[in-house]
Amino acid sequence: MNSGTLYILATPIGNLEDMTFRAVRILREVDLIAAEDTRHTRKLLTHFGISKPLTSYFDHNKTLKGTVILEKLKNGFSVALVSDAGTPCISDPGYQLVRDAVADGVPVVPIPGACAAVAALSVSGLPTDAFVFEGFLPNRSGKRREKLALLKDEKRLLIFYEAPTRLMATLGDIAEIVGDRDVVVAREITKLYEELLRGPVSEILETLRERQLKGEIVLLVAPSAEAPPVRENLVTELLQRYLFSDGISVKDAVRKVAEETGVPKGKVYDQALQLKADS
């Protein structure tokens, strides 16, 4: 028997008009829909006149339900995985199911659509050529500050999800640890009260100080203006490891070291040639 197909299907993050024609068709065709919250998804299905069996799949039952869903897939059932809003597996459970399906030879097909992080990124006005998505920062202040300290020299744009009740504390930590960098607070993207606040974090803190925020928030932080200093002997150590321990080519060693340290390839190449000559 041929296995079924697992569809990773994006749903709207607020505006139902963002549902794609393809997503609606797939939901009508599959044998089963695995949803983060079946009550929430049932409302979506009702809106589009879709009647299909539903099963829950979320953080606390993903191991048990993942096994059940995988068995159905292997028996020829087609399954659509959906989250409450946006693209499954992005700060949502699902990657384990995808991993196990792939391991068992089950086709996994993306049905793209809305994603809050990408939607906010597209209208941020910040550099978008390189970015890193960090999901939710830790709830506790100490852990959150530790995480921000690790990210403060990041040369790529930072994207976070944040709860409205923690936003002010997070912005305060960013101001203290990362600096008064430009940020964008994207709230309620695609919804009726959509709002985007742009500017230095100090100004955003002042703007929001007397407000009671609600809704889903994407927080974007501009990249570090300067790269962190490279330890003087780090290039040499990495080259020695790649060239002599791992035994890879000079070209590949130079590429890897340049990527890891940010040092220009030409400079790394000269140092690699010198090491080879000395050896």
Question: Is 143 within the bounds of a domain?
Answer: yes
Of 177, 198, 221, which marks where a domain is finished?
221
**Predicted local distance difference test score (pLDDT) of residue 258:** 82
Rounded Cα distance between 212 and 208, Å, is 8
How many independent structural domains does the chain possess? 3
Residues 83 and 11 in one domain: yes
Question: Is 105 within the bounds of a domain?
Answer: yes
- The CATH number assigned to the domain holding 51 equals 3.40.1010.10
Residues 86 and 8: beta-carbon distance below 8 Å: no
Residues 272 and 205 in one domain: no
* pTM of the shown model: 0.78
Structure tokens given for 147: 């995480």
**Predicted local distance difference test score (pLDDT) of residue 249:** 85
Greatest extent of the chain over all pairs of C-alpha atoms, in Å: 73
Question: 4-17 burial by CB neighbour count: b if 16+ within 10 A, else e?
Answer: bbbbbbbbbbbeee
Question: Is 228 within the bounds of a domain?
Answer: no
H or E element at residue 79: strand 79-82
Q: Which of 90-94, 234-238, 243-247 has the lowest mean pLDDT?
A: 243-247
Provide the angle, in degrees to the nearest 10, between the axes of the packed helices 250-261 and 265-278.
130
Phi and psi at residue 216, in whole multiples of 5°? -75, 140
The per-residue pLDDT for range 157-189, each reduced to its tens digit, is: 999 999 999 999 999 999 999 999 999 999 999
pLDDT above 90 coverage of the chain, percent: 77
| pLDDT band at residue 261 under the 50/70/90 scheme | confident
Residues 214 and 244 in one domain: no
Rounded Cα distance between 43 and 269, Å, is 59
Range of the domain at 134: 117-221
Q: What angle do CA 146, 152, 158 make, to 5 degrees?
A: 105
The per-residue pLDDT for range 18-59, each reduced to its tens digit, is: 999 999 999 999 999 999 999 999 999 999 999 999 999 999
Examine the pLDDT at 230 and tell me if it is beyond 70.
no
Question: Is 226 within the bounds of a domain?
Answer: no
Per-residue pLDDT averaged across 205-221, rounded?
Answer: 94
- The CATH number assigned to the domain holding 124 equals 3.30.950.10
Kindly give the residue spans of alpha helices, DSSP state H, lying in 163-233. Answer: 167-173, 201-208
Question: Is 229 within the bounds of a domain?
Answer: no
End-to-end CA distance of the chain: 59
**Predicted local distance difference test score (pLDDT) of residue 138:** 96
Residues 55 and 142 in one domain: no
